[in-house]
A and B are shown apart, each in its own frame.
Chain A
Amino acid sequence: QQQVKQSPQSLIVQKGGISIINCAYENTAFDYFPWYQQFPGKGPALLIAIRPDVSEKKEGRFTISFNKSAKQFSLHIMDSQPGDSATYFCAAERTGGFKTIFGAGTRLFVKA
């Protein structure tokens, strides 16, 4: 019940295309859903996050879509660029000092 399932494991997208990464969770107590971006040789860094009281959050080319009833959320990268090539992790948290739960990660490669 603590797991966050992420797909796909890897993704290749043409420059200018849309990258979509999906995550699903079971525990309805989760109340915060961040996405982290990791470049080779670096630690992950927060990219964008959403709370379950909204269905969508957009920051520049990055959008999180959230479906509370389906317990799913996804990251959309519009106009994907080679510089977006990285590993993306979805995560889920719950208030009260509980640890953050990460998905398995998606390796994105954007072809120039």
Chain B
Amino acid sequence: GAGVSQSPSNKVTEKGKDVELRCDPISGHTALYWYRQSLGQGLEFLIYFQGNSAPDKSGLPSDRFSAERTGGSVSTLTIQRTQQEDSAVYLCASSSGFRDRGAQVGELFFGEGSRLTVL
């Protein structure tokens, strides 16, 4: 598809289990973000990948959270030993990473998110 694809769209898990969330960015986009959004809340930044640079992990809330981006394309967000407070929608976004005068080349394209419910 032409857009950012996230899977699964919904995930229900038991407390203490590990989960993996997948993001397929738009082809050719060098920048990739993960955000967390609790019900009715804002976008909580988690991690940012830009090309071959070291990822900005400053938003990861604990060492239970990790993410990788293989081959500069697909990204996986892993949450280990899930807790009830991890329940949220996890959004992925990608961008071409560059902006040109007059062009919205740096626009972030978001997926529809993965809704995680931890029981």
Contact = CB atoms under 8 A, between A and B. Distances in A.
Interface of A: 32, 34, 36, 41-46, 49, 51, 89, 93, 95, 97, 99-100, 102-105, 107
A43 B42 CA distance: 12
Contacts of B1: none
B40, B45, B101, B108: which has the most chain A beta carbons within 10 Å?
A: B108
B51 interface: yes
Contact of A49 (B56, B101, B104): B104
B62 interface: no
Nearest to A99: B48
Interface residues of B, number: 27
Looking at chain A's contact residues, is the secondary structure mostly helix, strand, loop, or mixed? Answer: loop
The list of the 4 closest CB pairs from A to B, nearest first, reads: A43-B110, A105-B42, A99-B48, A104-B42
A87 B100 CA distance: 27
B50 A97 contact: yes
A107 B40 contact: yes
Given A41-B112, A42-B112, A46-B107, A97 B97 contact: yes
Contacts of A99: 33, 45, 48, 50, 56
